[in-house]
Amino acid sequence: MTEPVGRRERKKAATRQNIADTALRLFLERGYDAVGIRDVAAEADVAVTTLFSHFASKEALVFERDEDFEKRLARAVTDREPDEPIVPALRREMRAMVRHCASEGAAPTWRMIDATPALREYEESMRLRHAESLASAIAADLDLPPSSTACRTIARFVTDAHSLAREAADPDAAVDEIFRMIEAAWAVTFPTTASRPGYNRSAIAGSGTGGTPGA
């Protein structure tokens, strides 16, 4: 986020960028499975171990640019306008994310992801992480324990929307359709959720599942 200051950090960032760019280029040129880690390392002119000191796995190379997806959803909750309900805020963000995947620059990458089982699996496991952090953000906003089943469920539904909408014929319409369902799911579990500033303790915490609310 903050620009690297010393020459050392600048070089490190440059190496990382170089590796990611080279990898993505090779993957798109020759196909993900047809390019080995050793190929990427050679083309980027770094050692294999250096590559793995920057990226945890071959798949991670592909998602380098979208790594902050994790925070965007949580931020959509924490940084939203004070009077905006949670679900519409999430819908806005989700629409932007889905649009981005279909955008000029990102589309070829996502086409490759969709065509590569290993990458689909990786994305799926990423989505689980994202759902957890989103669940924490929602729970914090509602003053519920982070492990609350209701919050984790809503978060899971929201991240499902990402993969479902991306695969739909009309992603925008799909986001709307799925979020109508999410809105309904939200409404039965957190009825009459007040706008925001503070304590909509009217939320029922489920049938004792998940955890005890504040009082």
Partner DNA sequence: TTTTTAAAAGCTAACCGTTAGTGCTACGGT
Partner DNA sequence: ACCGTAGCACTAACGGTTAGCTTTTAAAAA
Q: Least distance to a copy of itself from the beta carbon of 69, Å? A: 17
Q: Quick check: 53 binds DNA (CB under 7 A)?
A: yes
Distance of CA 63 to the CA centre of its chain: 11
Distance of CA 194 to the CA centre of its chain: 27
Contacts of 185 (CB under 8 A, 6+ apart): 153, 154, 157
- Determine how many CB atoms are found less than 10 A away from the CB of residue 139: 22
Q: Cβ closer to a copy of itself: 47 or 128? A: 128
Pick from 63, 56, 53, 67: nearest CA to 32 = 63
Taking the C-alpha atoms of residue 195 and residue 180, their distance in angstroms, rounded to an integer, is 18
Q: Binding segment for a copy of itself among 32-40, 51-59, 97-105, 201-209 (CB under 8 A)?
A: 201-209
Taking the C-alpha atoms of residue 135 and residue 73, their distance in angstroms, rounded to an integer, is 10
Binding at 170: pick from DNA, a copy of itself, none (beta carbon under 5-8 Å per type): a copy of itself
Q: Quick check: 46 binds DNA (CB under 7 A)?
A: yes
Contacts of 182 (CB under 8 A, 6+ apart): 87, 90, 91, 154, 157, 158, 161
Site for a copy of itself in 117-136 (CB under 8 A): 120-121, 124-125, 128
Q: Quick check: 109 binds a copy of itself (CB under 8 A)?
A: no
Taking the C-alpha atoms of residue 22 and residue 40, their distance in angstroms, rounded to an integer, is 7
Single out the residue of 95, 185, 193, 194 in contact with a copy of itself (rule: CB under 8 A): 185
Q: Least distance to DNA from the beta carbon of 29, Å? A: 15
Q: Quick check: 39 binds a copy of itself (CB under 8 A)?
A: no
Single out the residue of 71, 75, 156, 201 in contact with a copy of itself (rule: CB under 8 A): 156
Taking the C-alpha atoms of residue 108 and residue 111, their distance in angstroms, rounded to an integer, is 5
Q: Cβ closer to DNA: 45 or 79? A: 45
Q: Quick check: 180 binds DNA (CB under 7 A)?
A: no
Q: Least distance to DNA from the beta carbon of 168, Å? A: 30
Q: Quick check: 58 binds DNA (CB under 7 A)?
A: yes
| Site size toward DNA, by CB under 7 A | 24
Write the burial class of residue 207 (CB in 10 Å: 0-12 exposed, 13-18 middle, 19+ buried). exposed
Q: Cβ closer to DNA: 54 or 166? A: 54
Applying CB under 7 A, the residues found at the interface with DNA are: 6-9, 11-12, 15, 35-38, 45-50, 52-54, 56-59
